[in-house]
């Protein structure tokens, strides 16, 4: 990073329209904003306002109907899907509401997965180290179904941070958790955000959590509310 | 390159993890079963076909036989030894054998015998079999008769009244009867017009004074040894042959053994094909489940930066390595099974089979890999198409593209391989096409019926009474496409299981019946036309039943469509032999009952024509409409081939290669021949018969019959082993079909319970759904098994298969029981876990 004021993510004129039956359904329209490296941004809004859709577009998981997204200096929709996947592998981490751990892999193996996919030979050591940072150093060989929700989400966090991403996208990371373990996960996210200098883009329903982020973007009916 | 290696490493790691999770076991098992059945059968077929060649040599008594109508020049015998080959000698002639004291004519009996004087090491291939008394159990003889002793056929024992221990005279010398000869392999099936056999030691011949210049004597030299050396000797000998000398080669072999073994190989080949295709279905079902369970994981991996290509390579490598391991295991299992099969058939094929070659292992391996590629790749390819956005919106499915085309390509490649492996295009095509049609029919019928069962009216009428029933029937309708696939796969697995249990038993019984225990065990030869009535009366009086006496005319084929026929026209040894020899022709008004017309028409009254056995027609290249000319005792006749017949060689009845209408053949000198059965202890009747009609010859084919039966028994037990593989494959299909929808059903049941459905309602509705599906699958499978069974019996095995009521009861019952059991098991799984856990597991 040359400059701490560098814009790492910028969205320009994002629109998303889907066909629903015979009519077109507009989910997002004319979304414009930028995120500076190291920042923590919350996206909030009512249910159905398009938060998840926006996040998926920002991360290059979904394609917009209009507009461009520049991620780490690259116009991601000028790339094909495979190139976007490679970019994700290099620069982006994810945490989801439903954890999305692979049930047939142990905690350790789940964390190793992105490292292995990137062809790292030190996947095992790194994964152990990150897992101990999320205080799961003792549960390496456990399968997801034997871990509590909070523990599963911490494994997911460890997986996201294991590749030292520049950007972490989180879609309601505490949505499936009770208040206490949710708070634990959030503390961890901010700790890692600070510790690794990772930029954080988080969708949440939780106003209190949103306030802990440096900036809040409000969505209403597919637009950024003033 | 380095990237590929990394993906290979990743694929290996994933293989380990998925294996640990139990995701791949059904796939691996299916592959092992397929490869094992293919390799065991082709290992075995490979060894058997080589053993059959050797078997044919045993019929010859050696690898090569040189025959001469005068004594062999010294150089030839020496040449055999010089080339390092084993050598044996024999001389044959006809002589009168006499028992009793020369002085007392009252007790003196005599009979013309076909004498064969052999060196002690005769035969070089195969064994003579002898018994201590007529009808006593026989055993293989270690060598030919010792000096001063003779072995005689049962016919001679009774005709001469000379049991073991008696003495008889041949020319000037006297011999002790040391054993009853029960089997002379070299004589095989051509026992016509041969006087009863007497074996003696070659060294005793001069003492008899019987062999003098001018007497009709044949001299034989036998050689055996390595193939190349025998072949070299043969080409050398052909150059040395003088007038009256010939090289004898392979005779066609015992037709009844050949038929049994050919049938067994067809049975085996077919079963292996079935196992392979069933395994393919199990693989396809298993892979589909694998893919469904990996959709989320793949979406996550796409999020984590895996490209489509990478996913494809990683999963491709994972399956490839799985394939390598499973196929290797399959080859090893097949190799082991082949030993068991050969063990069972060991006696039939005589001692040491040639060692298996490597080709079958390669074939099995290839079939396994093609199975995996053809049936696992199409669903696997879908994995790479998982959109990454699925991690956020779960409903984001997979775009299905061209999977059908890939399946078709896989099936095509598999079919080609299987046909190559079976070496039988017609059968391979039958199986593959029949299979595709069956699957299509099953799915279609299941889909239509499921929709009908679940049609609105029925649901309303029945559903009013019970919620379970309403939900169950509604489920049937809602899932009609998925259920149709499931019912079709269940029906398929069940068809295989039924086919391999019920239908197999019926087929095997029909097969056993083809050589019934009351099959004829004697042939009666040489009945003159003017003796017919007297012989028939004799049979009726003795309680032997009415003999079906067939006329026999001996003729030589001289022309085909006006052109002279000679042995030199044919490359095949069997064809040459047939042309050189005299044919046994017969005439009849009607088609013999144990023959079946396969082509053309039986002669219309008042018309000429010839009906030819289809095998010989093929060997000699005769077709319907060809004109054949024969000479019978210097007189000639011609007629067109008007029909082809198929014979039951294993029926032990009298069979003729060529049959004409009476008006064509009646005018030639003929004798009559019949097959009949004598129960043990009936020998005195035979003696009475030959005493009353001294010109008749009775040949004991009991040994040959017993051999044919033991051949069939052994062959059947060998076939059963391969059945086990196919059965295993069928069970794997059943299992895969049952678990295919398990995940979805569990999720549904959990949701139902969350919304307050009672346990009874959940299980009840599933039970209704399963019951209907089970009944349907059972019925479809029963119909399938019955149809395929008939097709196989008639087209492939040429047997009559009576319809089986047991099958029609067991089939539907099996379907219902199976799915009820499954409903009960899955209900236990769903209900024992809390809904929350099930839902958490499944998201
Ligand atoms: N592919 C699609 N097809 C049709 N409708 C869609 C599609 N994707 C999203 N939607 C609709 O767009 C709207 C926004 O969806 P989105 O998931 O982004 O909402 P959200 O803000 O994340 O809501 P929540 O807080 O409930 O998660 C919803 O009404 C959803 O039904
Ligand atoms: Mg959302």
> What is the position in ligand 1's atom list of the atom closest to the CA of A53?
18
Percent pLDDT > 90 in chain B is 9
> Is A204's C-beta closer than 6 angstroms to any atom of ligand 1?
no
Question: Residue A13, by phi and psi: left (phi above 0), alpha (psi -120 to 50) or beta?
Answer: left
B360 lies in some domain = yes
Cis status, amide bond into B123, omega within 30 of 0 = yes
Distance of residue B750 Cα from the nearest chain A Cα, in angstroms = 17
Say if residue B52 is in the same domain as residue B149: no
Q: Residue B14: closest CA among chain A residues belongs to which residue? A: A105
Say if residue B419 is in the same domain as residue B472: no
Band the pLDDT of B840: cuts 50, 70, 90: low
d(CA B752, CA B163): 89
Query: Residues near B244 by Cβ (< 8 Å), separated by ≥ 6?
Result: B68, B69, B70
Question: CA separation (Å) from A92 to A168, B17, B280?
Answer: 6, 25, 41
> What is the position in ligand 1's atom list of the atom closest to the CA of A27?
12
Examine the pLDDT at A3 and tell me if it is beyond 50: no
Say if residue B17 is in the same domain as residue B91: no
Q: What is the pLDDT of residue A76?
A: 92
Cβ contacts (< 8 Å) between B11 and chain A: which residues?
none
Question: Residue B200, by phi and psi: left (phi above 0), alpha (psi -120 to 50) or beta?
Answer: beta
β-pairing, B550-560 with B563-564?
A: antiparallel
> Is A51's C-beta closer than 6 angstroms to any atom of ligand 1?
yes
Tell me whether residues A100 and B391 touch, CB distance under 8 A. Answer: yes
Tell me whether residues A55 and B300 touch, CB distance under 8 A. Answer: no
Examine the pLDDT at A217 and tell me if it is beyond 70: yes
Band the pLDDT of B835: cuts 50, 70, 90: low
In the 8-state DSSP scheme, what is residue B223?
E
Helix extents (H) in B61-181: 74-82, 154-160
Facing residue for A85 by CB, picked from B13, B20, B306: B306
> Is A27's C-beta closer than 6 angstroms to any atom of ligand 1?
yes
Distance of residue B401 Cα from the nearest chain A Cα, in angstroms = 18
How many degrees, rounded to 5, is the angle at CA B457 between CA B454 and CA B459? 50
- What would the pLDDT profile of A134-158 be if each residue is shown by its tens digit? 888 899 999 998 898 889 999 999 9
Q: What is the pLDDT of residue B293?
A: 83
β-pairing, A40-45 with A215-220?
A: parallel
CB B611, CB B658: distance < 8 Å: yes
B118 lies in some domain = yes
d(CA B259, CA B647): 11
Mapped to the 3 state alphabet, what secondary structure does B91-110 carry?
EEEEEEEEECCCCCCCCCEE
Question: Which residues does residue B455 pair with via DSSP β-bridges, in sequence order?
Answer: none
What mean pLDDT is predicted for residues B180-199?
66
Task: Lowest mean pLDDT of B139-143, B455-459, B692-696, B737-741, name the range.
Answer: B455-459
B309 touches chain A (CB under 8 A): yes
d(CA A63, CA A54): 10
Say if residue B489 is in the same domain as residue B531: no
Ranked by mean pLDDT, the top range of B250-259, B321-330, B507-516 is B321-330
Query: Residues near A147 by Cβ (< 8 Å), separated by ≥ 6?
Result: A107, A139, A155
CB B709, CB B515: distance < 8 Å: yes
Band the pLDDT of B55: cuts 50, 70, 90: low
d(CA B799, CA B260): 12
d(CA A203, CA A56): 11
Say if residue B480 is in the same domain as residue B510: yes
The pLDDT mean for chain A works out to 89
Say if residue B731 is in the same domain as residue B759: yes
In the 8-state DSSP scheme, what is residue B125?
S
User: For residues A21-36, b (16+ Cβ closer than 10 Å) or e, as one string?
Assistant: eeeeeebbbebebebb
Cβ contacts (< 8 Å) between A89 and chain B: which residues?
304-306
Tell me the ligand closest to A53's alpha carbon.
1
A124 touches chain B (CB under 8 A): no
Of B230, B55, B222, nearest to B122 by C-alpha is: B222
Q: What is the pLDDT of residue A142?
A: 92
How many degrees, rounded to 5, is the angle at CA A132 between CA A131 and CA A134? 65
Facing residue for A86 by CB, picked from B307, B388, B389: B307
What mean pLDDT is predicted for residues B710-732?
74
Task: Give me ligand 1 centre to Cα B143, in Å.
Answer: 93
Overall domain count for chain B? 4
d(CA B663, CA B655): 20
Facing residue for B10 by CB, picked from A52, A100, A116: A116
Tell me whether residues B305 and A104 touch, CB distance under 8 A. Answer: no
B685 lies in some domain = no
β-pairing, B522-527 with B635-647?
A: unpaired
The pLDDT mean for chain B works out to 79
Examine the pLDDT at B142 and tell me if it is beyond 60: yes
B306 touches chain A (CB under 8 A): yes
- What would the pLDDT profile of A42-98 be if each residue is shown by its tens digit? 999 998 899 999 999 999 888 999 999 999 889 999 998 888 888 988 899 988 888
> Is A16's C-beta closer than 6 angstroms to any atom of ligand 1?
no
Examine the pLDDT at B57 and tell me if it is beyond 90: no
Residue B298's domain comprises: 1-61+261-423
How many C-beta neighbours within 10 Å does residue B467 have? 15
CB B3, CB B691: distance < 8 Å: no
Distance of residue B311 Cα from the nearest chain A Cα, in angstroms = 9
Task: Give me ligand 2 centre to Cα A82, in Å.
Answer: 25
Tell me whether residues A119 and B308 touch, CB distance under 8 A. Answer: no
Say if residue B279 is in the same domain as residue B207: no
Q: What is the pLDDT of residue B230?
A: 83
CB B587, CB B672: distance < 8 Å: no
From first CA to last CA, the distance across chain A in angstroms is: 31
Q: What ipTM is given for this predicted complex?
A: 0.88
Helix extents (H) in B92-199: 154-160
Over its C-alpha atoms, chain B yields an Rg (Å, rounded) of 35
Distance of residue A172 Cα from the nearest chain B Cα, in angstroms = 11
Point out the domain boundary residue: B249, B280, B297: B249
Examine the pLDDT at A4 and tell me if it is beyond 60: no
Say if residue B551 is in the same domain as residue B668: yes
Point out the domain boundary residue: B196, B225, B249: B249
A94 touches chain B (CB under 8 A): yes
Domain boundaries, chain A: 4-218
d(CA A177, CA A147): 13
Q: What is the pLDDT of residue A42?
A: 94
Say if residue B418 is in the same domain as residue B545: no
Tell me whether residues B306 and A89 touch, CB distance under 8 A. Answer: yes
Cβ contacts (< 8 Å) between A52 and chain B: which residues?
392-393
User: Which of A45, A52, A209 has the most ligand 1 atoms within 8 A of CB, as the residue to mutate?
Assistant: A52
A148 touches chain B (CB under 8 A): no
- What would the pLDDT profile of B410-452 be if each residue is shown by its tens digit? 777 777 776 666 666 666 676 677 777 888 888 888 888 877 7
**Does an H or E element contain B619, and which?**
helix B614-620
d(CA A5, CA A7): 6
> What is the position in ligand 1's atom list of the atom closest to the CA of A219?
21
How many C-beta neighbours within 10 Å does residue B696 have? 19
Q: What is the pLDDT of residue B457?
A: 62
CB A18, CB A25: distance < 8 Å: yes
Say if residue B382 is in the same domain as residue B488: no
Question: CA separation (Å) from B825 to A57, B507, B811?
Answer: 44, 35, 21
Which amino acid residue places its CA nearest to atom 1 of ligand 1?
A18
Q: What is the pLDDT of residue A69?
A: 95
Q: What is the pLDDT of residue B707?
A: 60
d(CA B584, CA B373): 55
Q: Packing angle between helix B467-478 and helix B456-463, nearest 10 degrees?
A: 160
Tell me whether residues B297 and A109 touch, CB distance under 8 A. Answer: no
> Is A193's C-beta closer than 6 angstroms to any atom of ligand 1?
no
Of B156, B180, B159, B178, nearest to B167 by C-alpha is: B178
Tell me whether residues A116 and B13 touch, CB distance under 8 A. Answer: yes
Examine the pLDDT at B258 and tell me if it is beyond 70: no
* Lookup result for tokens 């190793």: A112
Say if residue B98 is in the same domain as residue B242: yes
Examine the pLDDT at B189 and tell me if it is beyond 60: no
Q: Count Cβ–Cβ pairs < 8 Å, chain A vs chain B.
A: 84
- What would the pLDDT profile of B767-785 be if each residue is shown by its tens digit? 777 888 888 889 999 998 8
Examine the pLDDT at A17 and tell me if it is beyond 90: yes
Distance of residue B388 Cα from the nearest chain A Cα, in angstroms = 5
A64 touches chain B (CB under 8 A): no
> Is A162's C-beta closer than 6 angstroms to any atom of ligand 1?
no
Of B249, B254, B255, nearest to B62 by C-alpha is: B249
Of B658, B661, B664, nearest to B603 by C-alpha is: B661
Tell me whether residues B391 and A94 touch, CB distance under 8 A. Answer: yes
B388 touches chain A (CB under 8 A): yes
CA of residue B194 relative to chain centroid, distance: 33
- What would the pLDDT profile of B342-386 be if each residue is shown by its tens digit? 777 665 554 456 667 788 888 888 888 888 888 888 788 888 888
Which amino acid residue places its CA nearest to atom 18 of ligand 1?
A50
Q: What is the pLDDT of residue B118?
A: 93
* Lookup result for tokens 């018309």: B607
A105 half-sphere exposure, CB direction, 13 A CA radius: 24
Task: Give me ligand 2 centre to Cα B391, in Å.
Answer: 11
**Does an H or E element contain B293, and which?**
helix B255-303
Examine the pLDDT at B574 and tell me if it is beyond 70: no
Cβ contacts (< 8 Å) between B305 and chain A: which residues?
85-90, 92, 114, 117-118
Task: Lowest mean pLDDT of A23-37, B565-579, B772-786, name the range.
Answer: B565-579
Question: CA separation (Å) from B13 to A112, B16, B377, B433?
Answer: 11, 5, 19, 39
Distance of residue B807 Cα from the nearest chain A Cα, in angstroms = 43
pTM of the model: 0.69
Q: For residue B319, what are its two tokens?
A: 């399956």
Task: Give me ligand 1 centre to Cα A50, in Å.
Answer: 5
- What would the pLDDT profile of B70-93 be if each residue is shown by its tens digit? 888 888 888 888 988 999 999 988
Which amino acid residue places its CA nearest to atom 5 of ligand 1?
A18
Task: Give me ligand 1 centre to Cα B327, in Å.
Answer: 48
Band the pLDDT of B458: cuts 50, 70, 90: low
Say if residue B17 is in the same domain as residue B145: no
Q: Is B680 exposed, middle or buried (0-12, 13-18, 19+ CB in 10 A)?
A: exposed
Sheet-wide strand order for A7-20: A23-36, A7-20, A66-71, A74-75
Task: Lowest mean pLDDT of B217-231, B531-545, B747-761, name the range.
Answer: B747-761
Of B716, B730, B736, B721, nearest to B797 by C-alpha is: B716
Q: What is the pLDDT of residue B327?
A: 93
Q: For residue B367, what are its two tokens?
A: 């079939």
d(CA B341, CA B267): 14
How many C-beta neighbours within 10 Å does residue B31 have? 30
- What would the pLDDT profile of B623-672 be if each residue is shown by its tens digit? 999 999 998 877 889 999 999 998 765 566 778 889 999 888 888 888 88
CB B185, CB B58: distance < 8 Å: yes
What mean pLDDT is predicted for residues B599-624?
87
**Does an H or E element contain B720, and which?**
helix B702-739
Q: For residue B440, what are its two tokens?
A: 């299509």
Task: Give the residue, B832 or B811, on which the prediction is more confident.
Answer: B811
Examine the pLDDT at B125 and tell me if it is beyond 50: yes
A4-218: what fold?
Rossmann fold (3.40.50)
Q: What is the pLDDT of residue B345?
A: 64
d(CA A147, CA B23): 21
């Amino acid at each position: 990073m040359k400059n701490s004021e560098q814009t790492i993510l910028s969205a320009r004129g994002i629109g998303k329209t889907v066909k629903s039956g015979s009519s077109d359904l507009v989910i997002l329209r004319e979304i414009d904003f930028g995120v500076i490296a190291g920042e923590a941004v919350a996206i909030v809004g009512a249910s159905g306002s398009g938060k998840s859709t926006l996040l998926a577009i920002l991360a290059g998981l979904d394609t917009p109907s209009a507009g461009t997204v520049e991620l780490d200096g690259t116009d991601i929709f000028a790339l094909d899907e495979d190139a976007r996947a490679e970019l994700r592998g290099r620069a982006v981490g994810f945490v989801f509401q439903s954890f999305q751990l692979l049930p047939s892999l142990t905690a350790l193996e789940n964390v190793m997965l992105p490292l292995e996919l990137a062809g790292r030979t030190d996947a095992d050591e790194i994964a152990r180290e990150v897992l101990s940072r999320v205080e799961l150093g003792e549960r390496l060989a456990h399968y997801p179904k034997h871990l509590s929700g909070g523990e599963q989400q911490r494994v997911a966090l460890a997986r996201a941070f294991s590749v030292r991403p520049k950007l972490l996208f989180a879609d309601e990371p505490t949505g499936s958790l009770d208040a206490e373990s949710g708070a634990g996960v959030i503390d961890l996210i901010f700790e890692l955000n600070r510790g690794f200098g990772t930029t954080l883009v988080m969708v949440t329903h939780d106003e209190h959590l949103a306030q802990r982020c440096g900036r809040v973007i409000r969505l209403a009916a597919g637009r950024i509310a003033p | 390159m380095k990237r590929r290696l990394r993906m290979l490493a990743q694929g290996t790691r994933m293989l380990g993890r998925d294996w640990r999770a139990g995701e791949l076991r059904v796939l691996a098992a299916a592959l092992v079963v397929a490869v094992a059945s293919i390799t065991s059968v082709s290992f075995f077929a490979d060894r058997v076909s080589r053993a059959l060649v050797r078997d044919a040599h045993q019929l010859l008594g050696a690898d090569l036989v040189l025959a001469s109508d005068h004594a062999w020049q010294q150089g030839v015998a020496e040449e055999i030894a010089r080339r390092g080959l084993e050598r044996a000698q024999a001389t044959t002639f006809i002589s009168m054998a006499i028992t009793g004291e020369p002085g007392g004519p009252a007790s003196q009996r005599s009979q013309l015998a076909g004498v064969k004087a052999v060196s002690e090491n005769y035969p070089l291939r195969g064994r003579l079999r002898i018994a201590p008394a007529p009808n006593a159990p026989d055993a293989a003889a270690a060598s030919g008769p010792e000096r001063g002793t003779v072995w005689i056929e049962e016919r001679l024992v009774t005709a001469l009244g000379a049991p073991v221990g008696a003495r008889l005279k041949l020319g000037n010398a006297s011999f002790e009867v040391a054993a009853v000869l029960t089997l002379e392999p070299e004589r095989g099936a051509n026992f016509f017009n041969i006087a009863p056999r007497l074996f003696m030691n070659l060294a005793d011949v001069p003492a008899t004074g019987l062999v003098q210049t001018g007497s009709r004597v044949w001299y034989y030299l036998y050689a055996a040894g390595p193939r190349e050396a025998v072949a070299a000797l043969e080409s050398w000998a052909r150059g040395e042959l003088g007038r009256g000398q010939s090289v004898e080669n392979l005779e066609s072999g015992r037709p009844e053994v050949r038929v049994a073994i050919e049938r067994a190989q067809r049975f085996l080949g077919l079963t292996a094909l079935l196992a392979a295709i069933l395994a393919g279905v199990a693989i396809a079902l298993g892979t589909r489940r694998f893919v469904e369970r990996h959709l989320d994981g793949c979406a996550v991996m796409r999020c984590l930066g895996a490209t489509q290509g990478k996913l494809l390579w990683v999963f491709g490598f994972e399956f490839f390595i799985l394939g390598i391991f499973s196929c290797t295991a399959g080859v090893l299992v097949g190799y082991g099974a082949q030993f068991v099969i050969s063990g069972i058939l060991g006696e039939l094929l005589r001692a040491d089979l040639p060692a298996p070659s490597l080709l079958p292992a390669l074939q099995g391996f290839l079939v396994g890999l093609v199975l995996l590629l053809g049936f696992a790749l199409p669903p696997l390819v879908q994995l790479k198409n998982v959109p990454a956005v699925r991690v956020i919106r779960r409903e984001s499915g997979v775009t299905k593209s061209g999977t059908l085309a890939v399946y078709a390509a896989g099936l095509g490649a598999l079919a080609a391989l299987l046909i190559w492996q079976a070496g039988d295009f017609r059968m391979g095509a039958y199986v593959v096409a029949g299979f595709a049609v069956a699957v299509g029919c099953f799915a279609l019928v299941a889909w239509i019926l499921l929709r009908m069962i679940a049609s609105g009216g029925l649901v309303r009428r029945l559903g009013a009474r019970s919620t379970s029933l309403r939900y169950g029937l509604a489920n049937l309708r809602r899932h009609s496409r998925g259920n149709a696939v499931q019912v079709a796969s269940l029906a398929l697995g069940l068809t295989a299981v039924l086919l391999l249990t019920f239908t197999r038993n019926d087929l095997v019984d029909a097969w056993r019946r083809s050589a019934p225990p009351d099959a004829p065990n004697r042939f009666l030869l040489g009945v003159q036309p003017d003796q017919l009535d007297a012989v028939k009366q004799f049979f009726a009086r003795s309680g032997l039943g009415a003999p079906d006496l067939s006329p026999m005319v001996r003729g030589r084929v001289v022309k085909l469509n006006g052109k002279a026929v000679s042995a030199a026209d044919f490359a095949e040894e069997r064809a040459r032999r047939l042309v050189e020899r005299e044919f046994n022709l017969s005439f009849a008004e009607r088609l013999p009952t144990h023959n079946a017309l396969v082509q053309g028409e039986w002669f219309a009254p008042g018309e000429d024509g010839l009906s030819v056995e289809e095998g010989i027609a093929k060997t000699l290249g005769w077709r319907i409409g060809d004109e054949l000319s024969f000479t019978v005792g210097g007189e000639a006749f011609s007629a067109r081939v008007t029909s082809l017949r198929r014979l039951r060689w294993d029926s032990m009845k009298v069979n003729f290669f060529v049959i004409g209408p009476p008006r064509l053949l009646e005018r030639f000198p003929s004798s009559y021949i019949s097959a009949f059965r004598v129960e043990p202890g009936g020998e005195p009747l035979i003696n009475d018969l030959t005493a009353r009609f001294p010109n008749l010859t009775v040949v004991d084919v009991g040994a040959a019959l017993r051999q044919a039966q033991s051949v069939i028994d052994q062959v059947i037990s060998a076939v059963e082993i391969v059945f086990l593989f196919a059965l295993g494959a069928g069970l794997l299909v059943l299992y895969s079909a049952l678990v295919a929808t398990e995940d979805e059903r569990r999720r549904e049941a959990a949701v139902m319970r969350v919304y307050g459905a009672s346990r009874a309602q959940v299980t009840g509705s599933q039970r209704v759904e399963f019951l209907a599906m089970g009944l349907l699958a059972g019925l479809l499978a029963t119909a399938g098994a019955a149809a395929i069974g008939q097709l196989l019996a008639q087209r492939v095995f040429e047997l009559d298969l009576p319809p089986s009521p047991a099958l029609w009861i067991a089939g539907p019952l099996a379907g219902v029981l199976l799915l009820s059991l499954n409903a009960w098991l899955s209900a236990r799984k769903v209900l024992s876990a809390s809904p929350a856990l099930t839902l958490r597991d499944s998201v």
